[in-house]
Structure 1
Amino acid sequence: MMQQEYVPEKIVLWLKDDLKDQIPKRLSKLQGDLFEIRFSPYGFSHRKLIHSLDAFPDKTVITCDDDVIYQSDTLKIIYEEHLKFPNEIIGNRCRKMTYENGKINSYSKWPFVANPQQGAHNMPVGAFCVLYPAHSLHSDVQDVDLFMKLAPKADDLWFKAMAILNNTKSLQNTSQPDIPIPIMGTQFVALKKVNKGQDFNRVQWQQICDHYDLTKDKIEHLLS
């Protein structure tokens, strides 16, 4: 991220508090005006966005993962799309949440969006970078007790729901950077494996929808 063609105002790495004394020196030395390590009492994946929204409430925030290597044009591509669609959430890659007879399908039936487009059921995938304009998410986004009850292992789904409730559309980027490269040894316990293997994404999305009374038709109405 520090070697991107478009350099952001700030890069923040959010880590759990208990890692304070375990930061490698070569990483700690990178800290300065651009890069900063901040700490959180939380271990869940939602933390990087909820804390960033609190720390930078009026800024555009781009989330990315710390277990992959991104191409140097990743931020350039997503930010240039933001300039075209300043009020929409931009995902470099999105999945289309699909339904059958009004019920959400298994995650294995949520295909990647093939053609760049807006869509009520587009779910930006965090691993590919997601851009959130300031004030684009519902105020419940930072309700820790609630999202730990409804979607403890699905930050992408929680943020998608918060976008829907705020009437914010999600757009698949018209340009796509190359797929990020996983860092060796970091993917063994990745959330995507847990959620996909146990169909936990479908379960968590249903819990969110039940809580907020979100049906397929209601989602389409809110984002029409």
Structure 2
Amino acid sequence: MVDIGRISRALRRRARRVVVWFWVRKLGVLSRASHEPLTHPGVGPVVSLTSYGTRIQTTHLIIESIGRGRLKPSRLILWLDEEEALANLPKSLQRQRKRGLEVLRTENYGPHKKYFPYVSSLSEHSDPLVTADDDVLYPTDWLEVLERRAQSNPQDVTAYRARRVSFDESGLAPYEAWPFSSDGSPSVLNFATGHSGVHYPPSMLDRLRELGTDFLNKCPRADDIWLHWTALRTGRRVQLVHEQSSEFDTLAGTQAGGLRHLNITDGENDRQIRATYSAEDLRDLAAAHLASGTDGQR
């Protein structure tokens, strides 16, 4: 018997790949030809991202997708730690620097490069920070919708995608078992994942600066853990932009060498969580879990 549902899903995936292919080609043309500013100083939040290795060659496409948004960032910063890359910046990024992109040097803090160099660069923060990934194609309403949602609870963290911290009979469940959250209300149980973009309030940035580089001792390969722990310890909740976790298309060919396999499949996240969260932290999360009466799934 013909599986109509399976065929339909395959056709939708193929159609989506075609749409993404055209969008990538358009972004490439725009990055070569456009003189339009990528930023609007004093208006939107700061957007910060990092890249490394061969992915630097395609980062201009991601930056172009951010800069083409209806709400432009007040600053758009790309942090690089590789001296050779900084000395031989691709022409695509050189052109974007003339349009407002900042390409700045940082120490190699691993995935923490996307936020820590920025938070440590200022003695006091007045603007929120949005972190972005270097392999995600952001839609034109990405930053506008994220900023609007953040204003509903400006002292909390706002994310497009989050897992739900979960417990089982033995205590904290393995990270891989945490489902993606479908609870749009602010909660300490929502664990923001950076893939689709996360919005952080200025006061939390000040705290991250004060904490310094202790993340290197506890969770050097998992910035999401450190950022959630900091939010928890400063009394901040995480809210989703929508009622369901959502994510955007990724740029084909950029997934090799990522941390997903090490952190999730090999259980490295669980080791880093144990090193970061204290017994008191886990009690607070367990109490929130019991009080919620749900894992945030509807």
- For the criterion TM > 0.5, the same-fold answer is yes
The one of 234, 238, 242 aligned to 1:166: 234
Deviations for 1:5-58, whole angstroms, at most 9, x for unmatched residues?
Answer: 111101101111422123211111111363111111215110221112133522
Q: Mark the CA change 1:220 to 1:171 in structure 2 (over 3 Å): closer, same or farther.
A: farther
CA distance in 1: counterparts of 2:245 and 2:148, whole angstroms: 12
Q: Larger % of strand: which?
A: 1
1:204 deviation in Å? 0.7
Q: Larger % of helix: which?
A: 2
Return 81-90 or 15-24, whichever deviates more: 15-24
Report what 1:39 is aligned to: 105
Deviations for 1:164-197, whole angstroms, at most 9, x for unmatched residues?
Answer: 1111111112367963222222111111222111
The sequence identity of aligned pairs, in percent, is: 21
Aligned AA for 2:69?
Answer: Q
Partners of 1:94 and 1:113 within 8 A in 2:
yes
Aligned AA for 1:45?
Answer: P
Aligned residue for 1:12, secondary structure, equals strand
CA distance in 1: counterparts of 2:99 and 2:233, whole angstroms: 35
* Mapping 1:136-175, distance limit 5 Å: 136=204, 138-139=207-208, 142-144=211-213, 146-174=214-242
CA distance in 2: counterparts of 1:14 and 1:140, whole angstroms: 17
The one of 22, 30, 34 aligned to 2:96: 30
Aligned residue for 1:37, secondary structure, equals strand
Aligned residue for 1:67, secondary structure, equals coil
1:101 deviation in Å? 3.8
Q: Mark the CA change 1:123 to 1:3 in structure 2 (over 3 Å): closer, same or farther.
A: same
Q: Are 1:188 and 2:256 an aligned pair?
A: yes
CA distance in 1: counterparts of 2:208 and 2:143, whole angstroms: 26
Unmatched 5+ stretches in structure 1: none
Report what 1:65 is aligned to: 133
The one of 184, 197, 209 aligned to 1:129: 197
Unmatched 5+ stretches in structure 2: 1-65, 292-298
1:220 deviation in Å? 6.3
Aligned AA for 1:61?
Answer: L
* TM-score, normalised relative to structure 2: 0.68
Return 102-111 or 81-90, whichever deviates more: 102-111
1:102 deviation in Å? 6.0
Q: Are 1:79 and 2:144 an aligned pair?
A: no
Report what 1:16 is aligned to: 81
1:106 deviation in Å? 1.3
Aligned AA for 1:14?
Answer: W
CA distance in 2: counterparts of 1:132 and 1:139, whole angstroms: 11
Aligned AA for 2:202?
Answer: A
CA distance in 1: counterparts of 2:110 and 2:218, whole angstroms: 13
Aligned AA for 2:132?
Answer: C
Partners of 2:158 and 2:199 within 8 A in 1:
yes
Q: Mark the CA change 1:140 to 1:23 in structure 2 (over 3 Å): closer, same or farther.
A: closer
Give the aligned CA root-mean-square deviation in angstroms.
2.4
Aligned AA for 1:95?
Answer: R
